[in-house]
Amino acid sequence: MNFADRVAIVTGGASGIGRACALEFARGGAAVAVVDVADGATADEAERLIGEAGARGVFTFRADVSDFAQAERVVAAARSRLGGCDILVNAAGINDDAPVWRMTEAQWDRVMGVNVKGAFNYVRAVAPVMRGARAGKIVCVSSVEAFRGRFAVANYAASKAALVGLTRAAAADLGREGINVNCVAPGFTRTEMTKKLPAEILEEAARSSVFGRIAEPEEIAGVVAFLCTDAARYVTGEVIRVDGGQLF
């Protein structure tokens, strides 16, 4: 996929699905801005790999996406360092599981703050720039958990369902200016996030896929990248499940 002359901002781009998206843009010749709170070694490794993959430029912003004011500063800095802002992928996300009867207010607020407010903050920060350019591609990374009831994920499931609403409403707001806003909803994918889960949950997820395995981050990134190409210019407000049939 060709992303020459494009500048992509990828939140959560230092690790997992976000990193795979950043690499996909880099292979297409984009300049990439990573926004992440990952530790220095992880962020440095991601930056090196993105550069080696062919990025026209790469810059990492150590920023927490839930900080509204910082989002505007990061987008301004990405534009001045890399020369624009054509693509935004909201991949930064966290989970903090507990059954509803034990979930604390802090667990709820933290997950909603990063997963929902964080995505809004960056949509809000890029929207004026993309409207000015009368072009832009935004992709939010939701989850199949938005569409089913699984044990102990009320905060995470609510946050991922909220991203679907954000995507559709933002698509309506920004369509007239030629901006596409879409969502991918991955099933279980092999990343740092799922490494922390008990083995039996991952085994069950693998069994539930028609392919008998969970996804690799690259398999999510390919769909995200496609949504950011001109070939997908008439796709907007859409949610694409990338779950190998885990939700059947």
Residue 232 in the binding site for ligand NAP (CB under 6 A): no
Range list of β-strands (E), 27-132: 31-36, 57-62, 87-90
Q: Answer yes or no: 156 catalytic.
A: yes
Catalytic residue (one of 156, 164, 167, 228): 156
> Token pair of 151, please?
């044990």
- Residue found under tokens 């740092």: 192
Polymer length in residues for the chain: 248
- Selected binder of ligand NAP within 8, 38, 78, 164 (CB under 6 A): 38
Report the nearest approach of ligand NAP to the CB of residue 167 (Å): 13
- Selected binder of ligand NAP within 60, 182, 191, 209 (CB under 6 A): 191
b/e per residue, 43-61, with b = 16+ CB within 10 A?
beebbeebeebebbbbbbb
First-to-final CA distance of the chain? 30
Residue 167 in the binding site for ligand NAP (CB under 6 A): no
Spatial CA neighbour of 20 closest among 150, 144, 186, 131: 186
- Selected binder of ligand NAP within 6, 15, 154, 246 (CB under 6 A): 15
Beta carbons of 125 and 61 less than 8 angstroms apart: no
Residue 10 in the binding site for ligand NAP (CB under 6 A): no
Residue 84 in the binding site for ligand NAP (CB under 6 A): no
| β-bridge partners, 31 | 7, 57
- Residue found under tokens 């926004």: 35
Report the nearest approach of ligand NAP to the CB of residue 197 (Å): 8
Residue 65 in the binding site for ligand NAP (CB under 6 A): yes
In the bound state with ligand NAP, the residue whose beta carbon lies nearer, of 121 and 236, is 121
In the bound state with ligand NAP, the residue whose beta carbon lies nearer, of 11 and 182, is 11
* 128 φψ region: left (φ > 0), alpha (ψ -120 to 50), beta (else): alpha
Residue 78 in the binding site for ligand NAP (CB under 6 A): no
C-alpha dihedral, 84 to 86 to 89 to 92, nearest 10°: 10
Stretch of 70-78, 125-133, 147-155, 183-191 lying at the interface with ligand NAP (CB under 6 A): 183-191
Residue 25 in the binding site for ligand NAP (CB under 6 A): no
Binding site for ligand NAP (CB under 6 A): 11-12, 14-18, 35-38, 64-66, 91-94, 114, 118, 141, 143, 186, 188-189, 191-194
Active site amino acids: 156
